[in-house]
Structure 1
Amino acid sequence: MKSNVRDDLMSFLRDELSVSEAAIALALKKGEQELNFLPMVLWQYGFITLPQLNRVFDWLEMV
């Protein structure tokens, strides 16, 4: 994933979905730093809901 997409994704998670920095950091650690897995890990650990996960996927499709 490109650096600017990574930054935009982090901003989207924080600003639009109110995901904390700690939750993002934990999900990145559990997802072995793979941004492609980040949305699923956030959902699996209960940091985002299924509708929010769908919003992330919709957002990623538009990028």
Structure 2
Amino acid sequence: MKSTLEKKLVNFLQHDLSIPVASIEIALRHREQTPSLLPMILWQYGLVTLEQLQLIFDWLEQ
């Protein structure tokens, strides 16, 4: 089951950054190996830009 923070992060990715659901699902499948690194997994697989990655980190800091 997803944590509240993870649900909010996925919502932010979908609605604010327009990251496709399929991209998020790929990252979620790989996060089992590194659960706290979802943003880095998205970037590693080229699913978000460096600018989007920074926006994600800024959002997480709030």
Partner of 1:20: 20
Structure 2 residue runs of 5 or longer lacking an equivalent are none
* Deviation, structure 1 residue 32: 1.6
Structure 1 residue runs of 5 or longer lacking an equivalent are none
Deviations 1:2-42 (A, max 9, x none): 822111101100001111111111111122261x2110010
Q: Runs of 4+ in structure 1 displaced over 3 angstroms? A: none
Counterpart residue identity of residue 52, structure 2: Q
TM-score normalized by the length of structure 1: 0.84
**SS of alignment partner, residue 59 of structure 2:** helix
TM-score normalized by the length of structure 2: 0.85
Partner of 2:47: 47
Identity %: 50
Of structures 1 and 2, the one with the larger relative CO (CA 8 A, separation 6+) is: 1
